[in-house]
Amino acid sequence: MIHRWSGFYLLIVVALCLTSISACQSEVERLQGESIFYLDQAVKILERVVPDTNTAIRELDKYMVDNRDRMLEAKARELSLMQKMTADEQARFKRRAAGQTRVLRERLDSLVRTFSDPPRVLMKIQQFL
């Protein structure tokens, strides 16, 4: 009788672990989506003010001030969840994120080059990553 119950408990533990991993992965996906949203907002700001570097920096700073707490909280939660994943799971999510942001990063690279001080704009954009 004890042997049958121990198998039952093992099955419950395995099910809970799988549910936890699945929940962790979907939370990371949600947080990655949030990060992509913020990066997209930075691109939209640059598109709106191109080629004025000073206005771009001012607008990006304003966006950061208005959203800094949410952005930092999302990044901290994402890093915490990623640390709980296996190396393979982390690699899979990083590849997925790179694929999702490829077009956005290409747009960003093109936009940054249109400003009079691309390194300054790029340095500010890195706060969004």
Note the pLDDT tens digit of each residue in 12-44. 444 444 444 445 557 877 878 888 899 999 999
**What is the token pair recorded at 107?**
């747009």
pLDDT in tens, 53-73: 999 999 999 999 999 999 999
Q: Is the pLDDT of residue 82 over 90?
A: no
Q: Is 112:125 a contact under the CB 8 Å cutoff?
A: yes
Report which residue type is found at 114: T
Q: Is 22:61 a contact under the CB 8 Å cutoff?
A: no
More confident residue, 47 or 92: 47
Confidence of residue 88 (pLDDT cuts 50, 70, 90): very high
pLDDT, the chain, mean: 82
Whole-number pLDDT of residue 8: 43
pTM for this predicted structure: 0.73
Domain extent for 9: 2-128
Number of structural domains found in the chain? 1
